[in-house]
Amino acid sequence: MMKNYRTAIVTGASYGIGPFIVRALAKEGMNLVLAARSGDELEQVATAADIRASGVHVLTVPTDVTEREALSALVSAAERTFGSVDVLVNNAGGDFQREFHNYSADDVEEMIQLNLTGPVELTRLLLPGMLQRKQGHIVNISSLGGSVGFPFTEVYSAAKDGLIAFTRVLRADYRQAGVSSSVLILGPIKDAGTGARTMQEVNLPMSAMGKASMSPPEAVAQAVLKSLRRDKAEIVVMPGPGRFLRALMTLFPGMGSAMNQMTGSTHTMKQVADFRERQREQLNEQTQARI
């Protein structure tokens, strides 16, 4: 077990990268509180053979992180069951994969709530207890999207870059008091999660360069453990010099767009955005037909 950490909340634990993080923390002997909207999928993760074999206690709490009351209920359920929470992994997140000019004001709000306001509020709810016990660690899962100006991710990237800044200041303010914070800045992830699912769904070919830039979901889980064990401020999860790439993009902000054109990301993401728009139109037509 890391430090005296006994209990962790992991959001976005139902599918994608989340279950990999859950399994890694279970191996460390931590009691786990799993949150996401889909209760059945959470149960499947909680009752998987390797989790049961780890002997840890697991609580599943169906939660929509965009709803403030649901976050209070999640924290209450976790504290009622395990007494206190030492680690929060804010992993739930996602993007509509649509062009920004097609967003409604509600779409903007939902993206910010999912990727920024939800994690901030969960942290706010847990922080007083952690400060009282002089022990705790917040791990936020962000993205390289903003740094590389990844196509059509205006709102998602704004929220994820916001999460990086939030973590940095939170860490500076509370680390001396025993509560630390880390942010994981993910490049593209293969085999599980939203990127891998989108490639399959839209039936997109993957270039050799694209493949070479991807990390397995296990690398994210290992980065979570590393952030807790070694108390890292920021970890870039990407093969090769991810940190260097991030620094380079800050020095030369126009470079990302040129790189996206060159690697074909702009073309690929346009195909994805068009696919999502068609999906949305079909859904609207079906809804109209039912009325």
Looking at the annotation, which residues are catalytic?
A: 156
Tokens at 168, concatenated? 């940095």
Stretch that binds ligand NAP, among 2-10, 86-94, 242-250, 273-281 (CB under 6 A): 86-94
- Distance of alpha carbon 117 from the chain centroid: 13
The side-by-side arrangement of strands in the sheet containing 234-237 is 58-62, 31-36, 7-11, 87-90, 136-143, 179-186, 234-237
Can residue 157 be called a binding residue for ligand NAP (CB under 6 A)?
no
Distance from C-alpha of 247 to C-alpha of 250, rounded to nearest angstrom:
5
Tally of residues, the chain: 291
Query: Does the footprint of ligand NAP cover residue 136 (CB under 6 A)?
Result: no
| Closer CB to ligand NAP, 73 or 131, in the complex | 73
Residues 192-231 that bind ligand NAP (CB under 6 A): 193-195
Which residues touch 40 (CB under 8 Å, ≥6 apart)?
Answer: none
- Confirm if 13 and 21 have CB atoms less than 8 A apart: yes
CB closer to ligand NAP, 15 vs 100? 15
Instruction: Indicate which single residue of 17, 111, 155, 221 sits in contact with ligand NAP (rule: CB under 6 A).
Output: 17
12 near ligand NAP (CB under 6 A)? yes
Expressed in angstroms, the distance from the first to the final Cα of the chain is 55
Residues 24-43 close enough to bind ligand NAP by CB under 6 A = 36-38, 41
The pair of three-digit structure tokens given for residue 164, joined into one six-digit string: 């990086």
Among the listed residues 125, 199, 119, the one whose alpha carbon sits nearest the alpha carbon of residue 164: 119
Nearer to ligand NAP, 135 or 157 (CB): 157
Amino acid at 103: Y
Question: Which residue stretch of 72-80, 169-177, 185-193, 281-289 sits at the interface with ligand NAP (rule: CB under 6 A)?
Answer: 185-193
Is 64 near ligand NAP (CB under 6 A)? yes
Cα 148 to Cα 207, 236, 256, 257, 288, distances in angstroms = 18, 13, 4, 7, 39
Is the CB of 94 or the CB of 129 nearer to ligand NAP? 94
- Least distance from ligand NAP to the Cβ atom of residue 221, Å: 11
63 in contact with ligand NAP (CB under 6 A): yes
* CA-based radius of gyration for the chain: 19
Binds ligand NAP by CB under 6 A, chosen from 151, 188, 210, 256: 188
Distance, in Å, from the CA atom of 13 to the CA atom of 279, rounded to the nearest integer, reads 26
Region binding ligand NAP by CB under 6 A among candidate stretches 10-18, 22-30, 250-258, 260-268: 10-18
Q: Residue 273 interacts with ligand NAP (CB under 6 A)? A: no
Answer for which of 61, 93, 121, 276 binds ligand NAP (CB under 6 A) is 93
- Report the residue number, 6 or 195, with the smaller CB distance to ligand NAP: 195
Measured torsion, CA atoms of residues 63, 64, 65, 68, in degrees rounded to the nearest 10 = -90
CB of 115 to ligand NAP, least distance (A): 6
Which positions lie near ligand NAP, rule CB under 6 A?
A: 11-18, 36-38, 41, 63-66, 91-94, 114, 141, 143, 186, 188-189, 193-195
